[in-house]
Copies of this chain bind each other. A is one copy, B any other.
Amino acid sequence: MFKPNLSLQPMLDKLSLWGNLGAADRAAVLALPHRVRVYQPHQHVVRERERPSHACVMLSGFSMRHKLVGDGGRQILSIHMKGDFVDLQNAFLGTADHSVQTLTRCEVALIPCEAVRELALARPAVGMAMWQDTLVDGSIFREWLANIGRRDARSRVAHLLCELGLRLKSVGVGQASAFELPMTQDQLADAVALTSVHVNRTLRNLERDGVISRSKRSLTIADWAKLALAGDFDSEYLHLEDRELAAVCA
């Protein structure tokens, strides 16, 4: 008989959390045509202005989305990890409005855009789940806007660390309060709209105050309450609760 390829399982798991997928839906997701590709660190997966023919799902490793501005500055827009459907929007909008680049070595599944569109139409429940995922994406962008626009350096960094911790835990890569930072201080800086020099000072301050501790790239959140307070962090915007609620109702 036909044995389904399981490489898309992490993405399916994430979609299933919304609780509306039947067995046929799940099978259809796993049956999406795709090929797995390995990217080395710092490689481009999508470049701004391209019209990608494939959408990509993260299987392992970390990647980011970013934009370059006129004077050469870079703004990192989001961080992606196992199970994330990184550039789903390209399948529906056509032109990429930002670039996607790896942070670490990554395994990525490339799915033809057309297959994604067809699946969304043929199986509305799957389409809705993917839609909900992109809505959470949007919510995270909004929180980042508030973070970068209206918080000071210490809060911005603390907020990002809280988010990374929670998201890593939610996909089962380390714990919320102890994980490997997948990015350099330069990259952290471009994520929170500071300079790497200032991120460095901010991290050391948080460490001096006993809120976090670090060694190499591994980060430990010594006092989650303090860090969340410093970062004005409230996990609501990740909509983890809403996902559970939706699943229970279904």
Contacts and interface: CB of A to CB of B under 8 A. Distances in A.
A94 B134 CA distance: 14
Contacts of A171: none
Interface string A116-140: 0100111011011001101111110
Interface stretch (A3-11, A104-112, A148-156): A148-156
Interface residues of A, number: 53
Contact of A132 (B93, B124, B237): B93
Interface in A41-93: 49, 65, 67, 69-71, 73-75, 77, 89, 92-93
A interface, over-half SS: helix
Contacts of A93: 132, 135-136, 139, 239, 242
B75 A149 contact: yes
Interface of A: 49, 65, 67, 69-71, 73-75, 77, 89, 92-95, 97-98, 117, 120-122, 124-125, 127-128, 131-132, 134-139, 141-146, 148-151, 155, 193, 232, 236-237, 239, 241-242, 245-246
